[in-house]
Amino acid sequence: MALDLDFWTADIVSRELGGRPDLNCSSLRDAIDIYTEEKRKAILSNVGADVWEGIPFTTKEQLREKSAGSLSVTEDDLQRAVDFYANGLRLIADETDTILILLPDEEKESEGRLMSEGLRSIGARVIDHGEPFTDNETRSSEEAAGLLQLIREEGVTCVVATPTHMIAIARAAAKQTEAGEEELFLRSVLLCGGFTPDKTAMMLEEVFQAMIFEHCSGYGFCGGYALSCGYGKGCHVRETDVYIELINPITGEVVRGESPKTPGYSNYGEIVFTALNREGSPLVRYRTGDYSRWILDPCPCGSQLKRLDKVYPGEEE
């Protein structure tokens, strides 16, 4: 089963390439590779470099100094993110669902707001709660119980939250079940904004009897850069808007080929991404400090988009 994200990607790529007769695309994968190469050539021309790997990396320090803590985005940048969510989240929810979003939504470029717009555009009912929980453990427990009541009263079928917040909700749900309340089941859970151990995903799946999805986002990249499909391991990359490289963090060389120790995977490397269509502040070869590896085997869902394995956060600065 191919992802709706593939169809959306195919539409963008075909419009961008314009049906050029000189292009030989036997598959969506071929078309994406040509599309990406065209975008990289344009960036090379803009920065005045001869080869891609000759472009210097952008570091966190440089980005923060240049942007003074924020990066500009245009309305078109935001709309591309909304479209990504509208298409990428169709496996997670549809017009029959009620989705509770527990993410910051104050800023127009915040994940919570962009997801909300994308989900509403496909007809889903969305409850924008904003980021829950204080740092106080007792207060957090009370808030988790309150969210459970909200989920029951509103008939919520899908929750979007950080792993930490979902764990707190799961613990509160387990306590209520032990106290004799009816079990709470969800259709799906989308985890955002943090590393999710496999055992955490398994626990949430068991407690809520839900499909667990993961979303990858990074500083400065509007709308995130990858989503899991629920059919196999890893997250499919938003290849129409981001070009991802994995590099050796010491040498800066790009990781290529298959790992001799783990067939079907590349070696691990630091995630470096370039925004291919950004109209606001440019983001070229940005070193995220996070680590992952490519999954080289085809995904059971049938998608032709590249897949990153679980993303591990680097050391906090």
Q: Hey, what's the torsion of the CAs at 188, 79, 131, 198, to 10 degrees?
A: 40
Tokens 């740092």, residue?
Answer: 135
CB 32 within 8 A of CB 305: yes
CA 24, 26, 32 angle in degrees (round to 5)? 80
Q: What is the pLDDT along the chain (317 residues), one digit of tens a residue?
A: 357 899 999 999 999 988 676 677 789 999 999 999 999 999 999 999 999 999 999 998 887 776 655 678 899 999 999 999 999 999 899 999 999 999 988 888 899 999 999 999 999 999 999 887 665 555 578 889 999 999 999 999 999 999 989 999 999 999 999 999 999 999 999 999 878 999 999 999 999 999 999 999 876 678 889 999 888 789 999 999 999 999 999 999 999 999 999 999 999 999 999 999 998 888 999 999 999 999 999 999 999 999 999 999 886 54
Q: Is 278 helix (H, G, I), strand (E, B) or coil?
A: coil
Q: Is 229 helix (H, G, I), strand (E, B) or coil?
A: coil
**Structure-block tokens of residue 271:** 């995630």
0.75 surpassed by pTM: yes
CA 79, 277, 267 angle in degrees (round to 5)? 110
The phi and psi torsions of 165 (rounded to 5 degrees) equal -70, -40
> In the 8-state DSSP scheme, what is residue 3?
-
pLDDT at 281: 82
Q: Which domains does the chain have, with CATH numbers?
A: 72-219 (3.40.50.980)
pLDDT in tens, 93-144: 999 999 999 998 888 889 999 999 999 999 999 999 988 766 555 557 888 9
What do you get for the CA distance between the two ends of the chain, in Å?
41
* H/E run at residue 60: helix 60-67
Task: From 83, 68, 145, select the one nearest 119 (Cα to Cα).
Answer: 83
